[in-house]
Amino acid sequence: MSCTLPVPRVIHPGSVPHLRWGIVGTGIAASFVHALHAHTAQRAVAVTARNAAKTQKFAAEHGIPVVHHSSSALIADPAVDVVYVATPHTLHYELALEAIQAGKHVLIEKPVAMSAGETRSITAAGRAAGVLVMEAMWTRYLPQTDIVRQLLADGAIGEVQLIRADFGFAMPFDLTHRLWNAELGGGALLDAGIYPISFASSVLGSPTSITAAGVLAPTGVDARADLLLTSASGATALVSTSIITSMPVIATIMGAAGRIELASPFFGPSGVTLTTGPIGSETTATWRDEAFETLNEGLGYQATAFASYVAESRTESPLHPHDEMVSIMSTIDEARRQVAVAAAP
């Protein structure tokens, strides 16, 4: 039996509105703005961050014409169409609501907020204001993800039975780093775990049961977590995350007739392999993403998708809707709770 992969459906960057982006925060934003300018028709026109000198340098490096003294000033700037929130997690909620209240579209780095409750408030505010609110889960907008969607829609592997996905790395313990700081939203689940959890959700939907085990760091953040998620269909997902364990960062969807494997790192441009047929006579097909030299250049896909949704007057992404954003954060909330309870004396 032959084994073939569909062609990814990609939005052409020139087919969407040229939006003017205001950048809040200069950490991960560097990779995003580079991809924005190098591979899309979108442009960053203003930036703000806490350190004035670093912000001026950031603006000069990326050709951003305006530096604002505060996030409120940037949000109020009539030349800004979209606010990209790239601050630490704990600031996402207030910044997103302020931008929405000002009538701006918002792209919020993951996790979109610190809890399902905050996420629900943000998405409700966006719908009420008629602006697009999207989490920067860039994986959803990659070409390889579209290949996976088409394979699942076509029933290429039969009924899905099991998903495995992980994202973990060994981070040196440092009390000054945000990953180890509970007050800054540290821990594995919020930072890395959202990727495999979101991946499982994109295939199976909201889990009907959640079982989590893990360990806490001395600072109280979750250092490692392993989750068993059961879906309404009966399929399960095994997802793992860690900031003390080096993991392969791969994802696999297994069905009755085959499996779909995403190469490492599965959350960025990498590749897809489809395997079908019985053991001993399996056939495979592989697609590799070789469009860019560096991983983070793939961040531009979500910006192009964002602009296309603005053109369609959407308030949420059809590939990552608001209810699912809330559901994913609910899963993280529950996993964090279970890990903390198990670790309690």
Burial grade of 290 (CB within 10 A; 0-12, 13-18, 19 or more): exposed
Domain of residue 309: give its range: 139-292+299-343
CATH code (residue 112):
3.40.50.720
* Cβ partners under 8 Å of residue 61, min gap 6: 30
Q: Provide the whole-model pTM.
A: 0.96
| Domains of the chain: total | 2
> For the chain, what percent of residues have pLDDT higher than 90?
94
pLDDT at 101 over 50: yes
Site of tokens 């889960």: 137
* Cβ partners under 8 Å of residue 252, min gap 6: 163, 164, 165, 259, 260, 261, 262
337 within a domain of the structure (yes/no): yes
Query: Domain check: are 174 and 269 in the same one?
Result: yes
Segment 112-128, tens digit of pLDDT: 999 999 999 999 999 99
Query: Domain check: are 111 and 227 in the same one?
Result: no
β-pairing, 20-24 with 82-85?
Answer: parallel
Site of tokens 């703005």: 33
pLDDT of residue 115: 98
Structure tokens at 295: 């991983």
Listed residue (265, 276, 210) closest to 237, CA to CA = 210
Domain boundary pick from 90, 121, 137: 137
Segment 294-343, tens digit of pLDDT: 999 999 999 999 999 999 999 999 999 999 999 999 999 999 999 999 87
d(C-alpha 83, C-alpha 130), whole Å: 15
Segment 257-291, tens digit of pLDDT: 999 999 999 999 999 999 999 888 899 999 999 99
227 strand-pairing partners: 212, 239
Query: Domain check: are 257 and 216 in the same one?
Result: yes
CATH code (residue 157):
3.30.360.10
Query: Domain check: are 132 and 272 in the same one?
Result: no
Query: Domain check: are 122 and 154 in the same one?
Result: no
Name the pLDDT band for 195 (thresholds 50, 70, 90). Answer: very high
Listed residue (113, 42, 46) closest to 73, CA to CA = 46
Name the pLDDT band for 344 (thresholds 50, 70, 90). Answer: confident
pLDDT of residue 130: 98
Query: Domain check: are 198 and 59 in the same one?
Result: no
Query: Domain check: are 133 and 143 in the same one?
Result: no
276 within a domain of the structure (yes/no): yes
- Cα→Cα distances 200→227, 260, 265, Å: 11, 13, 15
pLDDT of residue 1: 45
Query: Domain check: are 91 and 179 in the same one?
Result: no
Query: Domain check: are 98 and 208 in the same one?
Result: no
116 within a domain of the structure (yes/no): yes
Listed residue (311, 335, 174) closest to 243, CA to CA = 174
Most distant pair of Cα atoms in the chain: their distance: 64
pLDDT of residue 2: 57
Query: Domain check: are 132 and 146 in the same one?
Result: no
Sign of CA dihedral 118, 122, 127, 133: negative
Query: Domain check: are 56 and 153 in the same one?
Result: no
8 within a domain of the structure (yes/no): no
Site of tokens 């392993």: 226
Q: Tell me what the pLDDT averaged over the chain comes to.
A: 96
Domain boundary pick from 137, 155, 176: 137
d(C-alpha 333, C-alpha 337), whole Å: 6
Query: Domain check: are 222 and 333 in the same one?
Result: yes
